[in-house]
């Protein structure tokens, strides 16, 4: 540690705890939630590593988090950001094997020149994997693996909302390789050709006037049993009610902050339908024995080009507070934060 700096430039949370409201991952002015400055660099403890950042991705979960509406409370004065890619520059006892390696990692505080995380939260990267893919290699890809596994165990067709999201596109590639059909829901019809190219069976625009009629026809034809839903709004509820008996509605995101009525609760009783949630953190804990296998599968897909991370904006750490809000309005890819 002696030749390393004692402080790191970081993007820092301004607020504590939960906001008590659920507004969705839109940010009008990041300076409401974030500031920047120097934080002390802590020495990695047992099983921990210190990482020098190459790139950090901005996921919807980061935006929900800084706004105080995620599954863990904010901590005023601590760095923001959950996921990135960087070089291990110091290691605590039991983590020495990672010293000098380029890794994909998750932590709380990735939007920082240096951050500490557990060695268990790091995946060493093959030289052929780009930093962009390394910085987005855990949150969305492992979620895609977990959710497509749920779909596969429940039939040969599933429904995906926000299908043009980065995660949606990863799931489409996996579904195609497993021979599963997909009914993709989007709100911009211009993304349909790209989704078809990735293997989508049907692409439907939820804003079209006869969407319900189109979905009913697709549902009758393909009989999807699982709805993987990142939006979770009144359209989702309608979609669920139009799906066959024994369908499962798996909500894994709340992109639309709308509060909506549940109009057909009887379907849970009389049609054996189920509503549930998915969160990567407990799923990884429950499947910890299989994680090395899943991590290898994910990295192979990035290394051979089967999967790729679309990037809209490279945002230097020092510009995050002033430019993050505008950057989130650019569609079809990730913002990458650079040191």
Q: Which residues would be at the binding site for ligand NAP (CB under 6 A)?
A: 59-61, 139-140, 143, 162, 164-167, 187-188, 230-231, 252-253, 255-256, 278-280, 331
133 closest CA partner among 311, 290, 317: 311
Copy the structure tokens of residue 32.
């409401």
Which helix (H) or strand (E) segment holds residue 332: the answer is none
Terminal-to-terminal C-alpha distance of the chain: 20
Smallest gap from Cβ 313 to ligand NAP, in A, equals: 12
Whole-number Å distance between alpha carbons of 87 and 52? 5
Which helix (H) or strand (E) segment holds residue 246: the answer is none
Nearer to ligand NAP, 92 or 333 (CB): 333
Nearer to ligand NAP, 164 or 315 (CB): 164
DSSP 279: -
Smallest gap from Cβ 143 to ligand NAP, in A, equals: 4
Smallest gap from Cβ 251 to ligand NAP, in A, equals: 8
Smallest gap from Cβ 328 to ligand NAP, in A, equals: 8
Nearer to ligand NAP, 59 or 219 (CB): 59
Nearer to ligand NAP, 50 or 230 (CB): 230
Nearer to ligand NAP, 153 or 331 (CB): 331
**Closest residue by beta carbon to ligand NAP:** 253
Whole-number Å distance between alpha carbons of 164 and 160? 9
Smallest gap from Cβ 91 to ligand NAP, in A, equals: 28
Compute CA distances 335 → 32, 163, 183, 325, 330, whole Å: 19, 18, 27, 11, 9
Smallest gap from Cβ 308 to ligand NAP, in A, equals: 13
Nearer to ligand NAP, 169 or 181 (CB): 169
Q: Which spans in 5-100 are helix H? A: 60-66
> In Å, how far from its chain's centre is CA 137?
10
Whole-number Å distance between alpha carbons of 135 and 308? 11
């Amino acid at each position: 540690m002696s030749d390393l700096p004692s402080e790191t430039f970081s993007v820092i949370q301004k607020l504590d705890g939960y906001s008590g409201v659920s507004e969705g991952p839109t940010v009008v002015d990041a300076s409401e939630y974030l500031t920047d400055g120097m934080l002390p660099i802590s020495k990695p403890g047992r099983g921990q590593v210190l990482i020098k950042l190459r790139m950090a991705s901005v996921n919807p979960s980061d935006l929900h988090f800084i706004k105080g509406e995620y599954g863990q409370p904010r901590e005023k004065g601590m760095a923001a950001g959950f996921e990135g890619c960087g070089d291990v520059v110091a290691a605590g006892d039991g983590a020495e094997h990672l010293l000098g390696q380029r890794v994909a990692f998750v932590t709380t505080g990735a939007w920082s020149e240096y951050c500490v995380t557990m060695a268990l939260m790091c995946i060493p990267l093959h030289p052929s994997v780009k930093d962009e893919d390394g910085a987005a290699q855990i949150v969305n890809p492992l979620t895609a693996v977990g959710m497509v596994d749920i779909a596969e165990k429940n039939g040969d067709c599933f429904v995906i909302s926000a299908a043009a999201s980065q995660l949606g596109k990863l799931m489409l590639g996996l579904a195609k390789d497993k021979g599963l059909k997909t009914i993709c829901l989007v709100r911009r019809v211009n993304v349909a050709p790209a989704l078809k190219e990735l293997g989508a069976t049907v692409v439907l625009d939820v804003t079209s006037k006869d969407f319900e009629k189109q979905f009913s026809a697709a549902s009758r034809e393909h009989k999807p049993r699982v709805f993987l839903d990142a939006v979770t709004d009144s359209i989702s509820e309608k979609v669920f009610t139009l799906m066959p008996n024994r369908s499962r509605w798996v909500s894994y995101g709340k992109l639309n902050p709308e509060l909506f009525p549940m109009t057909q609760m009887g379907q849970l009783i009389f049609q054996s339908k189920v509503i549930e949630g998915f969160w990567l953190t407990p799923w990884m804990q429950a499947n910890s024995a299989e994680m090395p296998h899943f991590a290898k599968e994910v990295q192979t897909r990035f290394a051979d080009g089967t999967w790729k991370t679309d990037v809209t904006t490279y945002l230097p750490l020092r510009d995050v507070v002033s430019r993050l809000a505008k950057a989130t309005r650019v569609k079809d890819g990730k913002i990458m934060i650079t040191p």
